[in-house]
Amino acid sequence: MAQLKTTRILAFWLVLCGFFVWDWTHSNPVNLRLESSIFALGSGQAPSGGHCASFGK
Amino acid sequence: MLKQRSGLLLALIVFTLFLLWFVSIRQSLLFVVGIGLGLVLAGMRFGFTTGWRHLIEQRDASGAYAQLLLLAIAAAISLPLLAAYPGELSAALGPPGVSLLVGAVVFGAAMQIADGCGSGTLYKAGLGIPLNMAILPMFALGSFLGSAHLGWWLDLGAMQPVSLLDSAGLTGALILTFAGLAAIAGLCYWWSKGSTVQRPVFSKGLMIGAVLLAILAVLNLVIAGQPWGIVYSFGLWGAKIAQATHLFDPSVNAFWSQPSNATALQQSIFLDVTSITSLGILAGALLIFAGKKDDRQAKLNTTQWIVGIIAGFLLGYSSRLAFGCNVGAMVSGISTGSLHGWIWVALAFIGSLAGVRIRKYYRY
């Protein structure tokens, strides 16, 4: 039973990691020169990420 | 077991360093915050869904009180921060309208059937619970379709988002928020007076969990500049897959053609705030699983599987219509002064009243 559960979790993470690797290789490369500051608070920049409560910016 | 946990911890450290070096320091910190959220949610079994179900079925308000404490602490810190740094921090402001009304009711029902909201599905999938693991991809599919149809739903009628901070100022927003939370606490007290459950009214574990979750939610706001959210990440994952299959053109879609969403589609998922904290929650829950003895779960029959998976799809679709789940709309909405968070709670609770009945009917 425990072994079955471990196998199930392993399969789940393999699929998930596979998706993330695929995405990493197919997305635009990360431009480290445009890296955001460590904390948004005090950065002087408006947040630009997507959020469930917003339609988009 | 210790060996498993050490190996996993090492893998998480390596991944955090990868994010720090190849993506950004901010994203690596957010991943750590996500792990913390996962550890608390899974370790303390802090379930929004279960808390509501116990309140409805057993008149046990201990889970609801813990959620109210989480909201109160998060609001007490977040609202002054948002008032002091309006250009750097943003609130979770969703527009009240037809989509919110429909989405919140359906989400409230579906979360009871699927036994997990956004955070619940994540941490239970991380703990290896089969139904929640199967639900996750359906949740993503539903979130994607919900976001793709969101423009149509908004055309049915919606008003501009209402911010308590903008409408009533900081003091007014704090007073309104605490008055609302106190009113709900009063209703919970009245309802739970007839309870026959032999559990303490204030569960120590849940209360500690609430305080820790509130601190982590505020950390998310301070680091990312936006409140904790979950379902945006699921929709983004679904949209990326749909785009790759060439079945979906985001440039002609009302939601995915918005500049911030179109950018998110082009760049790595590791740059998306909600994705990185969601991944952290999964990883935190996995750490709890690695240190746990096997606990037996009831086997589901075919009907229960089918109903559960349909509920998972509906969770995703309705959470986009409702502009968030228990986290994005309720925790983040209420703690950052959004009217839509309050409307969401009332309607999702009505949905949950139906959901617990459906759950009973299918003998979960």
Interface test with B, best of A14, A27, A35, A52 (most B CBs within 10 A): A52
pLDDT digits (tens, 9 = 90+) for B326-362: 999 999 999 999 999 999 999 999 999 999 999 999 9
Task: With respect to residue A52, please indicate whether it lies within any of the assigned structural domains.
Answer: no
Residue closest to A50 by CA, chosen among B188, B94, B260, B206: B260
The answer to whether residue A46 sits within a structural domain is no
Residue B137, pLDDT > 70, answer yes
The distance of A22 to chain B (nearest Cα, Å) reads 10
- What are the C-alpha distances in Å from B314 to residues B32, B56, B140, B306? 30, 22, 10, 12
Q: How far is CA B128 from the centre of its chain?
A: 19
Rounded Cα–Cα distance for residues B42 and A24 (Å):
28
Report the number of distinct structural domains present in chain A.
1
User: What DSSP letter does each residue of B199-247 carry, written as one string?
Assistant: S-SS-HHHHHHHHHHHHHHHHHHHHHSS----HHHHHHHHHHHHHHTTS
pTM above 0.90, yes or no: yes
How many pairs of residues across A and B have Cβ atoms under 8 Å apart? 169
Residue A22 lies in a domain: yes
Residue A21 lies in a domain: yes
B23, closest residue in chain A (CA to CA): A30
Q: In terms of residue numbers, what domain contains A8?
A: 2-27
Predicted confidence at residue B200, as pLDDT, reads 82
The answer for A 1-57 residues in CB contact with B (under 8 A) is: 1-2, 5-6, 8-9, 12-13, 16, 19-20, 23-24, 26-28, 30, 32, 35-57
- Token look-up 């928020």 returns B177
In a domain, A19, yes or no: yes
- What are the chain B neighbours of A54 within 8 Å (beta carbons)? 90, 92-94, 260, 323
The CA distance from B168 to B331, in Å, is 20
Q: Could you tell me where the beta strands, DSSP code E, fall in B58-203? A: none
Which residues on neighbouring strands pair with residue B267, listed in sequence order?
A28
Shortest CB distance from A28 goes to which of B240, B266, B296? B266
Contact B232 A51 (CB under 8 A): yes
**Amino acid code (one letter) for B252:** V
Percent of chain B with pLDDT over 70: 99
Residue A39 forms part of a structural domain: no
The closest CB to that of B23, out of A6, A9, A30, belongs to A30
Mind telling me how many Å the CA of A20 is from chain B's nearest CA? 7
Q: Tell me which amino acid residue A8 is.
A: R
Mean per-residue pLDDT for B36-59? 96
Task: Tell me the per-residue pLDDT of B263-286, one tens digit each, with 9 for 90 and over.
Answer: 999 999 999 999 999 999 999 999
Domain-located, residue A35: no
Query: Which of A1, A23, A44 has its CB closest to that of B88?
Result: A44
Per DSSP (E only), the strands in chain A are: none
Residue B220: closest CA among B280, B269, B156: B280
Q: Which residues of A touch B152 (CB under 8 A)?
A: none
